[in-house]
Structure 1
Amino acid sequence: MGNYMAKEPPPPVVLVPPLFDFPPLAARTRVLESSYNLLFGKLALQCLFDDYFDEARHFSTRFMLKPIDDPHVDMVATVSGPLDHKPDDNIVGNAEFRWQSDVDDPHTFMDLFVSNSDPILRMRSCAYYPKYGFGAFGIFPLLLKSRESFGDQGLMGLRYGSTNLSFGTTFKPSILPGDIPNSAWLVSKIGRLTAGLQYEPQIGKKDEAKINDLTNWSCAVGYGVGSGCPLSPSFNFCLELAKDSEFIASFYQHVVVQRRVKNPMEENEVVGITNYIDVGFELKTRVDNDKAKSGMHDSTFQVAASWQANKNFLLKGKVGPLGSSLALAFKSWWKPAFTFSMSAKRDRADGKTAFGFGFRVDNVREASYQRADPNFVMLTPNKEHLAEGIQWKMGERPMFESDVSSGNFAGIPRELRPLAKIL
């Protein structure tokens, strides 16, 4: 009798593609960096303004691979250079071998870096204890063509991080009486407001590295909304006074929207797809009259936006007073994943357009194309969701994102979850 009974159609689902590059590679080494340099939307803006905008008339390749039998180690190798290679042009090649203690926690690791340019051989090591919030790290250039700058002897650092406070310092391995830290920072978060200070002396003469010299200090305050999960919208606005000479205002917004699926290759129960839209703006203005030290203009700005239409295509563009750029990337989610990108840059000075190309192979960040649970709740409802002929709702509950807003990320793929909750 069961064969003659009408079967219930499968529930409608929404496709939720992974982000092209999440988490960003800089997140793997963020314990080595000052929290001041990564918060206030700086890491997100750096990815938006730089990723896939290859240098004009240049190519870049990057291979990120790890063995199947041992997920604790991986190798990242890059090769870049000009397209019209000449005998005197330099093709830059480097590789980095990394060992990570915990597959899910990137904060305790050791890596070896080799390159055909300085540093020729470098070692970095970091140990972080999430239970106590304390960490220690070291960066040691082992082989250099010459040791001239302040950091050529290596750096060591100590840090503390929690959900609301981060402070730390870096210093030379051989501290002598009277030496001062190479850098120090203090960042605190209260609700949606984040404020921070950073001491970073000018690289050069020792007498320029004074604590009471305001040109060695930077301060910033930011307002942020969002959980840090790519499936959740986020917004960050920041004001910064850098080195007592430069005022920086920036904002970054990550938008999660859903649109109707128009792909005949998908199943009938697939009714929508999630898209990711990122918008960023940065304005830099000098607040002193000394242009000789920086060589920058009185004021400059840049605006950028990106749109990820599905798991395969990413479109980015940015505009500034000196030029504009457009980048298109295609990614195949095989194992490993292959990404090909092409960028076009138009220089306003000469009116010419130049192209750059990039190729990437990645199996370090393993993300999969997901179907959203039918009980999930819509993130960004709009009038399109009410269009006739589209079954955007199942029963009385909309679809998509049930617990993301409440901070429960247990059912989300590891690559789409927020970064570890340390400031």
Structure 2
Amino acid sequence: MGNWLNKEPPPPMVLVPPLFDFPPLAARTRMLESSYNLLFGKLALKCLFDDYFEEARRFSARIMLKPIDDPHVDLIATVIILNFSLFVSGPLDHKPEEKIVGNALFRWQSDVDDPHTFMDLFVSNSDPVLQMRSCVYYPKLGFGAFGIFPALMKKRISAEDYGVMGLRYGSESLSIGATLMPFALKDELPKCAWLVSKMGRLTVGVQYEPQNGGKEDTKYKNLMNWSCAIGYGVGSGSPLSPSFNFGLELAKRSQFIASFYQHVVVQRRVKNPFEENEIIGITNYIDFGFELQTRVDDARTSNNTPESSFQVAASWQANKNFLLKGKLGPLSSTLTLAFKSWWKPSFTFNISATRDRTIGKTQYGFGLRVENLREASYQRADPNFVMLTPSKEHLAEGNVWKIGERPMLQSDVNAGNFEELPRELRPLKKIL
């Protein structure tokens, strides 16, 4: 009876919600891409600028499911309705034109935790109608091979329409590879070649992409076929720790690109009357990035093509259910709100409002996603954040809460200890 009366109050806890989408779907096919096109913060910026930003007057639905009986396979089906109209008031007999684009992707991978060896089939009602992609990678050796083969197409025009093959080598500090078209002419080889190296926090890379036309012996001397980039980044590569990346790129001697991306993990106080009294804070994820592009050659551009452009974007994940994103460009600005329910499978609904400054109108786009590919929870063994239940409740001891301050996340992640994290949340140690 005395123990019951003197029962200690529950320890204070901090809610640590899972990230909305991690790892990104684009990372599952990174072995089919040039490392030059993914590093220097390019993959993170692509997710920041594109994810959940629906185009104006467009509705898209995506279903991503993994069978319970066989975790090695999954299916992604996408339906996009173009040219729809949303009217608050107007004639009831209006029938806008609709164009429906549908596709499906069936994927098989040998290891559930390793997405780098896989095969998938892409089916669509537009070109390519049927396409097969395959990749084999040996982590111990660092060597990999991949291929993309359109099986059915309505019309084949270039050699690329008959298939692309590639070889690559990757380690912790080096990535080198090349892609070629088996049915291309001799002067069209290779299609692409890249070399990227990392030295501490500095990453440098060069890529060769020949343009159509020209003799083989002069293509390598033409600077228009070469691109180079340099990046400086800080962070472990895991989304559970803060990171940033700054990059400079000279693309094909004609375009200069400067980009910056930062991922911040912060904590704020919880002022929600529906939460328990012991819940004192919640972890938030804030991302910010910008990209500036300007031409550096003497080529004349049309009146519709500006000499330079920029775009700025930011996102804020307030909790496990709400994500707010916005981006600003030279011609338009977009704001999107996404709501996610963590059922199995999870449902995500997002709405985007795009303000086109050229015509002075605001238009809307909608998206719906159903998914059970990615896990919603993770566990951590840090003494400041000890998992208590699968609902992302962690001990808050060791955190200093001061008015007006948002302390950074202090954990084993900052020290490089990722052994207690699921594989998908660990940084890629053996692959650049």
TM-score after normalising by structure 2: 0.89
Match of 2:233 among 201, 220, 224: 224
Question: What CA deviation, in whole Å up to 9, does each residue of 1:28-80 have, x standing for no partner?
Answer: 00000000000000001111111111010011111100111111000001010
Task: State which of 97, 121, 144 in structure 2 corresponds to 1:135.
Answer: 144
Aligned: 1:337 with 2:346? yes
Distance 1:12 1:223 in 2: 38
- 1:412 Cα shift? 2.6
AA of the residue aligned to 1:34:
S
Deviation string for 1:324-344 (max 9, x for gaps)?
110000000111110000000
Return the letter of the residue paired with 1:275: N
Q: Distance in 1 between matches of 2:274 and 2:431?
A: 42
Q: Does residue 6 in structure 1 map to residue 15 in structure 2?
A: no
Once the two structures are overlaid, the 10-residue window that deviates more, 316-325 or 289-298, is: 289-298
DSSP 3-state at the match of 1:385: coil
Q: Describe the superposition over 1:273-306 as per-residue Cα deviations: whole angstroms up to 9, x where unpaired.
A: 1100111010000001214599731111011111
What displacement does 1:127 show? Answer: 0.4
C-alpha spacing 1:191/1:295, structure 2 compared with 1 (3 Å): farther
Tell me the residue number matched to 2:103: 94
What amino acid is the match of 1:68? I
Alignment partner of 2:328 out of 298, 310, 319: 319
Corresponding residue number in structure 2 for 1:195: 204
Does the 8 Å contact 1:323/1:347 carry over to 2? Answer: yes
In the alignment, the residues of structure 2 paired with residue 57 and residue 260 of structure 1 have an alpha-carbon distance, to the nearest angstrom, of 38
- Structure 1 336/83 Cα, relative in aligned 2: closer, same or farther at 3 Å? farther
CA distance in 2, matches of 1:283, 1:155: 31
C-alpha distance in structure 2 between counterparts of 1:10 and 1:87, whole Å: 58
Identical-pair percentage = 73
Does the Cα contact within 8 Å between 1:375 and 1:399 map onto a contact in 2?
no
Q: Does 2:386 correspond to 1:386?
A: no
- Report the Cα distance in structure 1 between the residues aligned to 2:162 and 2:380, rounded to whole angstroms: 51
Asked if the contact 2:292–2:310 (Cα under 8 Å) also holds between the matched residues in 1, the reply is yes
For residues 228-307 of structure 1, what are the structure 2 equivalents within 5 Å?
A: 228-292=237-301, 296-307=305-316
> C-alpha distance in 2, partners of 1:61/1:305?
24
CA deviation after TM superposition for structure 1 residue 413, in Å: 3.9
Alignment check: 8 A CA contact 2:267 2:409 kept: no
Question: Which one is further off, 262-271 or 146-155?
Answer: 262-271
Alignment partner, residue 395 of structure 1: none
Comparing 266-275 with 301-310, greater Cα deviation is found at 266-275
2:202 paired with 1:186: no
What's the counterpart of residue 88 of structure 2? Answer: none
CA gap of 1:19–1:420, structure 2 versus 1, over 3 A, is farther
Deviation track 1:175-206 (CA, whole Å, cap 9, x = no partner) reads: 6655521000000000000000001122x446
Give the whole-Å Cα distance in 2 for the aligned partners of 1:421 and 1:295. 45
| 1:69–1:249 distance in 2 versus 1, CA, 3 Å | same
Q: 1:196 to 1:294 in 2, by over 3 A?
A: farther
Q: 1:59 — aligned with what?
A: 59
Does the 8 Å contact 1:13/1:372 carry over to 2?
no
Tell me the C-alpha RMSD between the 2 structures.
2.7
Match of 2:79 in 1: 79
C-alpha distance after superposition, 1:62-111 (max 9, x if no partner): 11001111110000010102252778643110000000111111000000
Report how far residue 271 of structure 1 moved. 1.4
Secondary structure, counterpart of 1:128 in structure 2: strand
Paired AA for residue 235 in structure 1? F
**Corresponding letter in the other structure for 1:265:** F
Report deviation, 1:414: 4.0
Q: 3-state DSSP class of the match of 2:28?
A: helix
Q: Which residue of 1 aligns with 2:38?
A: 38
2:415 corresponding residue in structure 1 = 406
Q: Distance in 2 between matches of 1:294 and 1:139?
A: 37
- Counterpart of 2:337 in structure 1: which amino acid? L
Q: C-alpha distance in 2, partners of 1:120/1:282? A: 34
In the alignment, which residue of structure 1 is the partner of 2:390?
none
How many residue pairs get aligned? The number is 411
- CA distance in 1 between counterparts of 2:408 and 2:197 reads 36
Equivalents in 2 of 1:358, 1:88: separation in Å?
Answer: 19
